[in-house]
Amino acid sequence: MTKALDGIKILDFTHVQSGPTCTQLLGWFGADVIKVERPGEGDATRKQLIDVQGADSLYFTMLNHNKRSITIDTKNKRGKEILERLVKTCDVLVENFAPGALDRMGFSWEKIQELNPRMIMASVKGFGPGKYEDCKVYENVAQCAGGAASTTGFRDGLPLVTGAQIGDSGTGLHLALGIMTALFQREKTGRGQRVLAPMQDGVLNLCRVKLRDQQRLAHGPLKEYSQYGEGIAFGDSVPRAGNDSGGGQPGRILKCKGWETDPNAYTYFIIQAAVWEKVCDLIGEPGWKTAPGYDKPLHRLDKLNKIFNRIEQWTMSKTKFEVMEACNPLDIPVGPILSMKELAEDEGLRATGTIVEVDHPTRGKYLSVGCPIKMSDSPVEVTRSPLLGEHTDEILVDVLGYSAEEAAELRAAGATELIKREAAE
């Protein structure tokens, strides 16, 4: 069966996490992703958080499926020549170098347009144009700069970063959407364009509801925040709201059977107005259905602590899965707090290909997260990440049209293999 992006060639100049998550998605959709890496070293993550000596790390293997690897020293004269051919041949260049690195390499946007006017050049940077545009940025910096940290955690505690990689993988997703849109527009105009996804902007986009709340604050307290029910005044910016539900439906994380020893024996529980009466019956408080102060959603807002304490008495008598079994048939929205161990063993996620087992020549079998987007006419087959430079000659010859002799010459010149820089110059 064909794939959605068959025939699209990606010059993948990405490293670490944000850029690689984007190009991995494009690979899953069928694009030919050619990952350019520095000879001898490659993407720094290959050697970060090593668990199996001599093998590429899980950090690298889990972010670089469905790609081919070519090593090119882009600071070597002959290496630049290879890169030029790649720019002329590919449809999209994706990069997430520090600001200015590509210019310093001699590949400014102007130069790229000159080489290939159809090329789409897509970049992740920490910040967009402005006073911070030159800064290097990693995940947690983006979470802090984009409004996630100031709104995550408990009111009386430190700002918190989240386990979800919203700065890196979140921005990779934004970039992938920009690339697809630019490819679609190119179909009509014949022209490439520049696509920029700053990490701060991507995180802020994911924190959209908190900017909503910032503006609501001007018109009074945020009544769905537990702070309101506790009678604590609001300041001039959105406070951290613990596990309060982000929407208009009050919700909390509640203890379940076994919480004393199991750090994940909890459930999320939402008291949506439409199912309030069913919640009352379920927890043994039928009187709350009609009691003044409990019967209307707005009246309940100053009693949320009392209400959730009562619900918790009920959830503590059940496991998190029993809570789900009891609530789902009643349409009461609940969610067990699933550990990574439980997710890794989840048969449903394995059946859909969201958790996949991949075989790798130097590390053996490992688990990975497959493509989370399912398309009926473009099936995804997850293939292992490439070894460093594994496809160098194949790409030079088959994609770029060099002869086998020329490929050997380029290696001897230090353009594709690591040789002492003094010798190359």
Residues forming the active site: 168
Q: Which of 82, 137, 311, 323 binds ligand CAO (CB under 6 A)?
A: 137
Q: Does 201 bind ligand CAO (CB under 6 A)?
A: no
Stretch that binds ligand CAO, among 135-143, 324-332, 405-413, 414-422 (CB under 6 A): 135-143
| Site membership for ligand CAO, residue 259 (CB under 6 A) | no
Strand order in the sheet with 251-255: 251-255, 266-270, 334-336
- Ramachandran quadrant class, 73 (left: phi over 0; alpha: psi -120 to 50; beta: rest): beta
Residue range at the interface with ligand CAO (CB under 6 A); choices 68-76, 212-220, 285-293, 378-386: 68-76
CA angle, residues 313, 314, 315, in degrees to nearest 5: 95
Residue type, 2: T
Q: Which is nearer to ligand CAO, 19 or 192 (CB)?
A: 19
Say if CB 313 and CB 282 are below 8 A apart. Answer: no
- Report, in Å, the least distance between residue 199 CB and ligand CAO: 6
DSSP 316-349: TTS-HHHHHHHHGGGT--EEE---HHHHHT-HHH
Q: How many residues bind ligand CAO (CB under 6 A)?
A: 26
Interface segment toward ligand CAO; rule CB under 6 A; list 84-92, 134-142, 374-382, 402-410 = 134-142
DSSP letter, residue 129: S
Joined tokens for residue 411: 């290696």
Nearer residue to ligand CAO within complex by CB, 86 or 207: 86
- The answer to whether residue 424 forms part of the interface with ligand CAO (CB under 6 A) is no
> CB-wise, 96 or 385, nearer to ligand CAO?
96
> What string of DSSP letters covers 90-105?
-SEEEE-PSTTHHHHT
Hey, CA dihedral for 133, 139, 141, 142, is it positive or negative?
A: positive
Candidates 125, 210, 384, 391; binder of ligand CAO (CB under 6 A) is: 125
| Residue 139: CB minimum distance to ligand CAO, A | 5
Residues that bind ligand CAO (CB under 6 A): 16-19, 36-38, 44, 72-75, 96-98, 101, 104-105, 124-126, 136-139, 168
